[in-house]
């Protein structure tokens, strides 16, 4: 086989330019796979993606032997487009996998069990279709037809129904009848036409991929018996949808805003990222990030000088008064007197006192009258996350009592380990509501020199209300800066809560569940912002 | 996302290719609109979680108000024609959301009321009108859970099923017969009916009902209920607060621990009750 190194490099650089230089390491063209570091993986493969190096290795002899030199560039483009277009990143692929799984369940209700592996194979095939269609519609039509021709030849008699259907779809989508497969059974041809019609509606807009993939699932499942048949209809793996040894929570971050809790839990379990409890914690943590207090605003004490207005800085002014960053920011260069700036300062009159951020003790009602956080998004639990994370971000300790009735309550002593608290926050007991007096007493007596804020989240249907109000009041008296607030879930007014108000607590009635988060975020801002 | 820049000579910047691909996309869009049916709608909507109005709207392939109204009517009729096949609750809720979107679209287009096929459940689910622009639904027979969590919705039907207008606010129903638990936990509702089932206006606030005959425990746990009724079942107005109830003919029994006033016709027996009982002339 005749090829020169500069020629191969020119092909690779053209492919990279076509794909807009995707953010991965430069692909490596392996000329001698037998003596290569990844020889075992490269055997009989057109290429591999090595996750530890984030690099593609293309097996040049295999490609040239089975597909021909003329198709090397198309193979490079095929592979690189995965990192530039579809799926682009793991979140997109996870979204598509979750969608594909649900669609499979919808179309195969009466059939066999549906797995995430099957959905992943469909997702990979779908992304291939998007990528090669992009290449075909942007000047590489002949190259892509030639590539799939060569693949078809290489498959020979092993080509199954799935492969034929995929080729039929490409013929329809690219508008090149009989260029790839030619004659197909009528039903298969009709299905390919349907798929192409749906596919051609803004095919490269990622926002529409989920619906397109669900639609594709409706036809695709007819043409395979085993999911592996879809994998063999592809050229090589891109590895984007693999965990790659990254922290699962990082991979799943922000997906909570895009899917419901049950779908999220199933996705986490389906890809083997974590347990149900971990999934719940990640879900609530993700949602609470929007509301939590992250930084403390800078407050100045009375009498302190604060910058008021910029002034010109001259050579006669003290050098330490010169604000060089501000000078460069405003004019780009420092010309003494002309562009240099200093600050006129003013004495603050606003009374503000720096306080130690109080530790927070969350007392969360997990009785039957509250929403179960494992089945629906529970505003009370989400509010607990917001309060706990705000306190944790500002260096305060967080303690927790999750209670239901006397036999069942869970306690986390005040600590800086917010994760311990988060794991317990998603606990649900159901049953009756008996306020955990002894737990409250023990938590309030821990480190009495540290100020505490007691945050009760409940619907105030408490059996031992008089006792609870008394001991809540006692807890406030342990430290002069102790304070407390009660968030009444789904109530405009509660006579029972008035007893707690008399004990010195602020009462926040919440008639609409979704307001609870904003109200508690406001309280967190007041305490820690 | 930034698309890769084509480097080959035959690139998408050539006007002809751009026009061709635009035309193909436009054709695909119109074909999709024509082909869209209920099974594809359910395929797009399938989830482990509860469905919402936003998700239903997102699953529909059009954002143009007129096209949307036409598509919704088509889907609702398709669902009604084979409603017995929609056995799962989420499917029926989804159809309910379709009716909601349809009535909202009709209101936006200034078409007034929306006529719906018979026997659909969850009609007007979470429909949201405005104080100066009530949404109007007309139907022969409305199924269960109509007007659930709706606001500013009016339903005019020959009959409505159970649990209608539950947790609804500022809604009204005009019907001949209504099922049980109508207006449960609702606020500022108006009901006109010939006959209503048990637990009418349960736990409701500031509601008004004009019914010829009501079942048991009408107005249980309600606040500021005003009711005009001819015949009532047992335990009328139990635990109601500040109720004003007019009974023109007969009441089986008055509920315990209610407060407010009951105007009752002459000839009725003297009741031992916490209500203030006034005899009507």
Split at pLDDT 50, 70, 90, the class of A352 is low
What is the helix (H) or strand (E) element at residue A488, kind and residue range? strand A483-489
Predicted pLDDT at A157: 67
CB contact B2 to A (< 8 Å): yes
Q: Are B68 and B105 in contact (CB under 8 A)?
A: yes
* Joined tokens for residue A392: 């944790």
* Joined tokens for residue A389: 């994370």
Number of other CB atoms surrounding residue A66 within 10 Å? 16
Would you call B11 and A263 a contact, using CB atoms and an 8 Å cutoff?
A: no
Q: Are B257 and B236 in contact (CB under 8 A)?
A: no
Identify the weakest region by mean pLDDT among A354-358, A439-443, A517-521. Answer: A354-358
CB contact B1 to A (< 8 Å): yes
In sequence order, what are the residues at sequence separation of 6 or more whose Cβ sits closer than 8 angstroms to the Cβ of residue B74?
none
Predicted pLDDT at A16: 92
Q: Does the pLDDT of residue A256 top 60, yes or no? A: yes
Identify the weakest region by mean pLDDT among A212-226, B212-226, B257-271. Answer: B257-271
Predicted pLDDT at B102: 96
What is the helix (H) or strand (E) element at residue A19, kind and residue range? none
Would you call B43 and A103 a contact, using CB atoms and an 8 Å cutoff?
A: yes
Predicted pLDDT at A518: 92
Rama region for B218: left / alpha / beta (φ>0; ψ in -120 to 50; rest): beta
Q: Does the pLDDT of residue A280 top 80, yes or no? A: yes
Which of A45-59, A460-474, B80-94 is most confident?
B80-94
Q: Are A105 and A39 in contact (CB under 8 A)?
A: no
CB contact B5 to A (< 8 Å): yes
Identify the weakest region by mean pLDDT among A470-484, B202-216, B255-269. Answer: B255-269
Split at pLDDT 50, 70, 90, the class of B30 is confident
Number of other CB atoms surrounding residue A219 within 10 Å? 18
CA distance A443 to A441: 6
Instruction: Enumerate the domain spans of chain A.
Output: 5-231, 250-288, 305-347, 359-528
- B132-152 pLDDT, tens digit per residue, is 999 999 999 999 999 999 999
- A326-337 pLDDT, tens digit per residue, is 898 888 888 988
Would you call B12 and A139 a contact, using CB atoms and an 8 Å cutoff?
A: yes
Split at pLDDT 50, 70, 90, the class of B267 is confident
- A234-244 pLDDT, tens digit per residue, is 998 888 888 77
Q: Are B203 and B219 in contact (CB under 8 A)?
A: no
Would you call A106 and B46 a contact, using CB atoms and an 8 Å cutoff?
A: yes
Would you call A198 and B17 a contact, using CB atoms and an 8 Å cutoff?
A: no
Instruction: Over range A430-446, report the average pLDDT.
Output: 90
Would you call B8 and A259 a contact, using CB atoms and an 8 Å cutoff?
A: no
Q: Does the pLDDT of residue B38 top 70, yes or no? A: yes
One DSSP character per residue, A35-54 reads GSTTHHHHTT-SEEEETTTT
Confidence (pTM): 0.84
Better pLDDT: B27 or B172 = B172
Would you call B5 and A218 a contact, using CB atoms and an 8 Å cutoff?
A: no
3-class SS string, B102-145: HHHHHHHCCCCCEECCCCCCCCCCCCECECCECEEEEEEEECCC
Angle subtended by helix axes A379-393 and A418-425, to nearest 10: 180
CB contact A488 to B (< 8 Å): no
Q: Does the pLDDT of residue A1 top 60, yes or no? A: no
CA distance B106 to A417: 54
% of residues, chain A, pLDDT over 90? 55
CA distance A421 to A401: 9
Q: Does the pLDDT of residue A32 top 70, yes or no? A: yes
Chosen from B2, B7, B61, B62 to mutate, greatest number of chain A CBs within 10 A = B7
CB contact A175 to B (< 8 Å): yes
Q: Does the pLDDT of residue B3 top 70, yes or no? A: no
CA distance A142 to B169: 62
3-state secondary structure of A253: coil
Predicted pLDDT at A391: 94
- A156-172 pLDDT, tens digit per residue, is 767 789 999 999 999 99
3-state secondary structure of A34: helix
% of residues, chain B, pLDDT over 70? 95
Q: Report residue A459: phi and psi, to 5°.
A: -100, 10
* Joined tokens for residue A396: 């305060």
The mean of the pLDDT values for chain B is: 91
> Any bridge partners for residue B254, and if so which?
B236
Would you call B3 and A102 a contact, using CB atoms and an 8 Å cutoff?
A: no
Would you call A84 and B24 a contact, using CB atoms and an 8 Å cutoff?
A: no
Q: Are A57 and A42 in contact (CB under 8 A)?
A: yes
Identify the weakest region by mean pLDDT among A23-37, B5-19, B106-120, B231-245. Answer: B5-19
Chosen from B5, B41, B46 to mutate, greatest number of chain A CBs within 10 A = B46
Q: Are A411 and A439 in contact (CB under 8 A)?
A: yes
- A67-87 pLDDT, tens digit per residue, is 998 999 999 999 999 999 999
Contacts of A202 in chain B (CB under 8 A): 25
Size of interface A-B (CB pairs under 8 A): 97
Predicted pLDDT at A72: 93
What length is written for chain A?
A: 529
CA distance A427 to A384: 12
| CATH class of this structure's domain A359-528 | alpha beta
CA distance B109 to B106: 5
Would you call B48 and A198 a contact, using CB atoms and an 8 Å cutoff?
A: no
In sequence order, what are the residues at sequence separation of 6 or more whose Cβ sits closer than 8 angstroms to the Cβ of residue B278?
B261, B262, B263, B264
Better pLDDT: A122 or A295 = A122
Split at pLDDT 50, 70, 90, the class of A2 is low
Q: Are A168 and B36 in contact (CB under 8 A)?
A: no
Burial of A324 (C-beta count, 10 Å sphere; 0-12/13-18/19+): exposed
CA distance A167 to A161: 10
Predicted pLDDT at B115: 95
- A142-151 pLDDT, tens digit per residue, is 999 999 999 9
Instruction: Over range A415-438, report the average pLDDT.
Output: 91
3-class SS string, A90-114: HHHHHHHHHHHHHHHHHHCCCCCCC
Predicted pLDDT at B25: 84
Contacts of B32 in chain A (CB under 8 A): 197-198, 201
In sequence order, what are the residues at sequence separation of 6 or more whose Cβ sits closer than 8 angstroms to the Cβ of residue B143?
B119, B120, B121, B122, B123, B161
Predicted pLDDT at B179: 96
CB contact A490 to B (< 8 Å): no
| Residue whose C-alpha is closest to residue A291's, from A527, A55, A517 | A517
Split at pLDDT 50, 70, 90, the class of A401 is very high
Would you call A266 and B32 a contact, using CB atoms and an 8 Å cutoff?
A: no
What length is written for chain B?
A: 281
In sequence order, what are the residues at sequence separation of 6 or more whose Cβ sits closer than 8 angstroms to the Cβ of residue A145?
A136, A174, A176, A179, A180
Give the minimum alpha-carbon distance from B105 to chain A in angstroms, rounded to a whole number. Answer: 23
| Residue whose C-alpha is closest to residue A166's, from A115, A237, A222 | A222
CB contact B257 to A (< 8 Å): no
Rama region for B130: left / alpha / beta (φ>0; ψ in -120 to 50; rest): beta
Sign of the alpha-carbon dihedral angle for A137, A143, A149, A152:
negative
Q: Does the pLDDT of residue B7 top 60, yes or no? A: no
Split at pLDDT 50, 70, 90, the class of B74 is very high
* Joined tokens for residue B80: 């009604």
- A281-296 pLDDT, tens digit per residue, is 999 999 999 898 887 6
Identify the weakest region by mean pLDDT among A201-205, A251-255, A348-352, B174-178. Answer: A348-352
| Residues of chain B numbered 25-54 and touching chain A (CB < 8 Å) | 25, 27-29, 31-32, 35, 40, 42-44, 46-50
Q: Does the pLDDT of residue A303 top 70, yes or no? A: no
Predicted pLDDT at A355: 67
Q: Are A96 and A255 in contact (CB under 8 A)?
A: no
Looking up tokens 């990254």, which residue turns up?
A246
% of residues, chain A, pLDDT over 70? 95
Predicted pLDDT at A396: 92
Instruction: Over range B165-194, report the average pLDDT.
Output: 96
Predicted pLDDT at A490: 80
CA distance B13 to B19: 10
Say if strands B276-279 and A483-489 run parallel, antiparallel, or are unpaired. unpaired
Contacts of B34 in chain A (CB under 8 A): none
* Joined tokens for residue B202: 């349960």
Better pLDDT: B228 or B250 = B228
Q: Report residue B170: phi and psi, to 5°.
A: 55, 50
- What does the angle CA A137 – CA A140 – CA A145 come to, to the nearest 5 degrees? 95
Predicted pLDDT at A397: 95
Q: Establish how many alpha carbons lie within 13 A of residue A437's alpha carbon, considering only the half-sphere containing its beta carbon.
A: 13
| Residue whose C-alpha is closest to residue A420's, from A281, A254, A274 | A281
Split at pLDDT 50, 70, 90, the class of B90 is very high
- What does the angle CA A149 – CA A154 – CA A156 come to, to the nearest 5 degrees? 95
* Joined tokens for residue A397: 């300790």
Better pLDDT: A139 or A418 = A418
Q: Does the pLDDT of residue B2 top 60, yes or no? A: no
Split at pLDDT 50, 70, 90, the class of A4 is confident
* Joined tokens for residue A49: 């993606």
CA distance A388 to A423: 12
Predicted pLDDT at A351: 54
Q: Does the pLDDT of residue B68 top 90, yes or no? A: yes
Instruction: Over range B49-75, report the average pLDDT.
Output: 91
* Joined tokens for residue A343: 């600050």
Chosen from A116, A197, A491 to mutate, greatest number of chain B CBs within 10 A = A197
């Amino acid at each position: 086989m005749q090829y020169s190194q500069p020629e191969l490099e020119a092909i690779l650089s053209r492919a990279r330019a076509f794909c807009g230089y995707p953010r991965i390491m430069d692909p490596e063209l392996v000329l001698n796979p037998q003596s290569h570091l990844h020889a075992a993986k490269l055997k009989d493969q057109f290429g591999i993606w090595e996750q530890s190096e984030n690099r593609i290795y293309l097996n040049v002899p295999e490609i040239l032997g089975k597909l021909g030199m003329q198709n090397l560039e198309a193979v490079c483009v095929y592979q690189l487009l995965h990192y530039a277009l579809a799926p682009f990143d793991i979140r997109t692929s996870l979204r598509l996998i979750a969608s594909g799984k649900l669609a499979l369940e919808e179309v195969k209700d009466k059939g066999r069990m549906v797995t995430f592996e099957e959905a992943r194979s469909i997702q990979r095939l779908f992304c291939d279709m998007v990528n090669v269609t992009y290449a075909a519609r942007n000047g590489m039509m002949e190259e892509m037809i030639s590539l799939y021709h060569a693949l078809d030849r290489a498959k020979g008699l092993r080509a199954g129904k799935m492969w034929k259907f995929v080729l039929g779809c490409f013929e329809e989508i690219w508008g090149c009848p009989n260029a790839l497969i030619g004659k197909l059974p009528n039903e298969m041809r009709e299905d390919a036409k349907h798929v192409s019609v749906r596919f051609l509606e803004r095919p490269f807009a990622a926002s529409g991929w989920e619906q397109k993939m669900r639609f594709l699932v409706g036809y695709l499942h007819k043409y395979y018996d085993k999911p592996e048949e879809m994998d063999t209809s592809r050229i090589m793996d891109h590895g984007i949808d693999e965990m790659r040894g990254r922290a699962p929570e990082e991979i799943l971050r922000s997906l909570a805003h895009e899917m419901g809790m049950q779908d999220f839990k199933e996705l986490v379990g389906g890809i083997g990222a974590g347990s149900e409890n971990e999934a719940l914690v990640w879900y609530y943590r993700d949602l609470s990030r929007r509301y939590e207090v992250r930084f403390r605003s800078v407050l100045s004490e009375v009498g302190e000088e604060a910058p008021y207005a910029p002034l010109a800085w001259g050579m006669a002014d003290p050098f330490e008064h010169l604000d060089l960053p501000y000078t460069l920011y405003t004019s780009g260069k420092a010309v003494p007197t002309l562009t240099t700036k200093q600050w006129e300062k003013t004495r603050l009159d606003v009374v503000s006192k720096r306080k130690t951020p109080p530790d927070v003790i969350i007392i969360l009602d997990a009785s039957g009258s509250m929403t179960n956080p494992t089945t629906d998004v529970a505003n009370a639990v989400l509010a607990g996350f917001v309060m706990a994370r705000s306190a944790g971000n500002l260096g305060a300790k967080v303690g927790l009592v999750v209670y239901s009735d006397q036999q069942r309550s869970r306690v986390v002593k005040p600590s800086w380990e917010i994760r311990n608290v988060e794991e317990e926050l998603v606990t649900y007991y159901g049953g009756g509501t008996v306020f955990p007096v002894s737990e409250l007493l023990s938590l309030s007596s821990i480190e009495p020199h540290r100020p505490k804020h007691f945050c009760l989240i409940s619907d105030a249907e408490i059996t031992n209300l008089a006792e609870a109000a008394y001991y809540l009041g006692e807890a406030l008296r342990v430290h002069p800066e102790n304070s407390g607030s009660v968030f009444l879930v789904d109530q405009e007014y509660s006579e029972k809560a008035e007893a707690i108000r008399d004990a010195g607590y602020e009462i926040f009635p919440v008639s609409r569940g979704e307001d609870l988060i904003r109200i508690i975020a406001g309280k967190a801002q007041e305490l820690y912002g | 996302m930034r698309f890769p820049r084509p480097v080959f000579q035959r690139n998408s910047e050539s006007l002809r290719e751009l026009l061709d691909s635009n035309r193909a996309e436009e054709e695909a869009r119109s074909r999709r609109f024509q082909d869209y049916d209920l099974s594809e709608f359910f395929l797009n909507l399938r989830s482990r979680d509860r469905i919402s109005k936003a998700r239903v709207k997102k699953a529909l392939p059009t954002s143009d108000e007129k096209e949307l109204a036409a598509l919704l009517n088509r889907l609702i009729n398709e669902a009604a024609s084979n409603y017995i096949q929609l056995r799962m609750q989420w499917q029926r809720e989804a159809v309910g959301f379709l009716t909601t979107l349809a009535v909202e679209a009709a209101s936006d287009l200034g078409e007034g009321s929306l006529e719906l096929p018979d026997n659909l459940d969850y009609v007007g689910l979470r429909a949201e009108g405005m104080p100066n622009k009530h949404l109007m639904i007309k139907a022969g027979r409305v199924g269960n859970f109509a007007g659930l969590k709706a606001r500013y919705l009016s339903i005019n039907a020959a009959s409505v099923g159970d649990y209608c207008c539950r947790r609804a606010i500022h809604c009204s129903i005009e019907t001949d017969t209504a099922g049980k638990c109508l207006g449960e936990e609702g606020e500022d509702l108006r009901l006109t009916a010939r006959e209503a089932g048990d637990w009418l206006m349960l736990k409701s606030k500031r509601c008004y009902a004009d019914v010829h005959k009501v079942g048991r425990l009408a107005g249980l746990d309600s606040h500021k209920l005003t009711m005009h009724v001819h015949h009532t079942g047992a335990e009328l107005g139990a635990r109601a607060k500040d109720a004003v109830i007019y009974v023109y003919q007969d009441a089986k029994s008055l509920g315990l621990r209610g407060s407010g006033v009951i105007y009752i016709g002459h000839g009725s027996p003297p009741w031992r009750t916490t209500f203030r009982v006034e005899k009507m002339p």
